[in-house]
A and B are shown apart, each in its own frame.
Chain A
Amino acid sequence: MQKASPPTTPASGRAIPWTLLRRSVMLAILALFMLQYFELRLLVGSLSGSTLLESIKLLDVFAFFEVSAAAKGVGLTLLTAVLPVALLYLVLGRAFCGWVCPMDLLFSLVDKLRPGDQRPVKLPLSPGVGYWLAGGLLLLALLFSLPLFTNYLSHLTNFFRAIAGGVFLARDLPVEPAMVAWSLLTLLTLLMLHYFYPRLWCRVLCPVGKTYGLFNRVSLLKLRFDQGDCEGCELCEHKCYMGVKIVRHLDRGKLRDPNCIYCGRCIEGCRHKGKLIGMSLK
């Protein structure tokens, strides 16, 4: 999905419009999902679980862990469904959050409502809390034998359930209005949370993102730096809404932070326009 990101060495001169690119990818994937409401079966389901071209099953990685915990076992179907997704993000790391997740789009809309400085704020929770939360959710799934998060709380499930519910309500088809209301309420809660604590969900809480964050440690895609002409303005770090400490990694040449979502805002923010920071698959 992120084939649109060719490896750019810091030396290459042309500035790539990263934000425009990833918004396009995001909307294209959403559009593929929307086709299922026009009787086209290219991509059926939601970002929690779906089927591509009526044959390739896809399952979100955290959903895989949660269902495995709830079912107390890993079936062949589960494995074949999670494999393509896991392979994709072994290459692309946590790019899911910056390039696919619809919440990124919704959050950026909320950002427009918030006046003033958009600099990353100090969060009331440390990022480590998210791992405990994800672990706790898996434990609950194991104890109660149901994928609690993916079913009821997941932004992905709820986003697509709200859309499906809306379509079904509009077309007078069987639907549980209370479940649609629940999904809308969940999304609204997340947007409110984002309004008061920007990206707290992404940076600290979201177990889906935390899981993809683990892929960053081994993924082929990473941020690369060339210190050459850096004047130490720290604009890159100011632009990063995931609160990644970019400046302190500059001298190491590359960055493997579990919170980096490869949105490219640091690259766009840099005054040397793509010369000092770049994404690289090598």
Chain B
Amino acid sequence: MKVAAAAGAAGVAGGSGLLLREDARRRQAAAAERHLSPLPEIAETGLVRPPGARPGREFRSRCSGCGACLNVCHTMGYDAIAMAGPRHGRQGATPYIKDMRDFPCTLCMECPDQCPTGALQPVEKPAVKMGIALIDLKLCFGWNGDVCLSCSKACPLGASVFDFYYGAWGNQPYINEKCVGCGLCVKYCPLGGSAVKVVTPEIYAALKDDYLAEVDQTLHISGEERYEMVYGRNLPEIMARGRLVEREYR
């Protein structure tokens, strides 16, 4: 009897140990992934606000940091909103979408309904302007000879946001300016570290020309050059990231 009880206890302890190891492994994977940001040349994404946020300074002046949005997001089970910290200076103690890789906004539109100061205002989903998602053409499967479409399947606005370029290199996705910046595509991109990055409308305005030029250039380079780019440079990097990150969705 004693032996059985001891074995049972050991089994329980072993089980929780396994869970803890699993948890630690998941944390490690998430930490590894954080260094694998797409579009590394865009260092600053700006603070992506919850949906319905008034633009720029207007939002800051009205947000009292009461936490109604953050808490309602938590009760919905999405946990997308975090309070900005002292490192964000003037924007500290205001809500933003911190981790789109695991906790993107689902556009449930509960938070604007709960905001008591009107810093967030109820709006229709297509009119939300949290930011714009940019695809890293060097990392995206679709732009490198594969068929994926995960981002367009994850998008809550679907066909209106996605344009596709068909050609010899397959079905290449492009996210147009109707994107609201919720970040669901960031989460469901299967690439290690994601191939999609959301930037605020302000940041997008500044880098729009460069990004569009890159899209245009990639579409129009010669077959040999494209072959060299995809098989010589991009795919090795994509596969390296795949080996680094073994991801489980939360």
Give chain A's interface residues, CB within 8 Å of chain B.
36-37, 39-41, 44-46, 48-51, 54, 57-59, 63, 66-67, 70-72, 75-78, 81, 145-147, 150-152, 157, 160-161, 164-165, 167-168, 171-179, 182
Contacts and interface: CB of A to CB of B under 8 A. Distances in A.
Given A71-B58, A179-B86, A66 B64 contact: yes
Contacts, number: 158
10 contacts: A44-B114, A51-B113, A59-B116, A77-B121, A151-B64, A151-B65, A152-B93, A175-B82, A176-B84, A178-B86
A156 to B, nearest CB: 8
B99 A174 contact: yes
B67 A40 contact: no
A81 B77 contact: no
B61 A63 contact: no
B64 A44 contact: no
Nearest to A144: B90
A48 B65 CA distance: 8
Contact of A146 (B61, B66, B80, B113): B61
Contacts of B62: 67, 70-71
Contact of A179 (B66, B83, B113, B115): B83
B26 to A, nearest CB: 9
B70 interface: yes
Contacts of B67: 45-46, 48-49, 157, 160-161, 164
B68 A44 contact: yes
Nearest to B93: A151
Contacts of A172: 27
Interface in B52-109: 57-58, 60-68, 70-72, 74-75, 77, 79-87, 90, 92-94, 98-99, 102-103
Contacts of B94: 151
Nearest to A74: B118
Contact of B72 (A51, A165, A182): A51
B117 interface: yes
Nearest to A39: B75
A66 B119 CA distance: 13
A37 B114 contact: no
A71 B56 CA distance: 12
Given A36-B71, A151-B94, A164-B71, A81 B64 contact: no
B114 A39 contact: no
Contact of B75 (A36, A70, A151): A36
Contact of B83 (A75, A167, A176): A176
B60 A77 contact: no
B213 to A, nearest CB: 34
A145 B61 contact: yes
Contact of A178 (B85, B90, B113): B85
Contact of B114 (A51, A72, A168, A176): A51
A163 to B, nearest CB: 9
Given A59-B116, A146-B61, A173-B103, A44 B75 contact: yes
Contacts of B70: 164
A178 B79 CA distance: 18
A44 B94 CA distance: 17
A117 B61 CA distance: 45
A60 to B, nearest CB: 8
Given A48-B67, A67-B117, A71-B58, 10 more contacts: A36-B71, A40-B75, A45-B71, A50-B116, A57-B114, A72-B61, A77-B118, A147-B63, A152-B65, A182-B86
A157 B60 CA distance: 16
B86 A150 contact: no
Interface centre among B80, B82, B83, B115 (most CB of A within 10 A): B83
Contacts of B75: 36, 39-41, 44
Contacts of B87: 176, 178
A167 B57 CA distance: 30
A179 B118 CA distance: 23
B23 to A, nearest CB: 8
Contacts of A50: 66, 68, 116
Interface string B205-226: 0000000000000000000000
A73 B61 CA distance: 10
Contacts of B99: 174
A40 to B, nearest CB: 7
Nearest to A179: B85
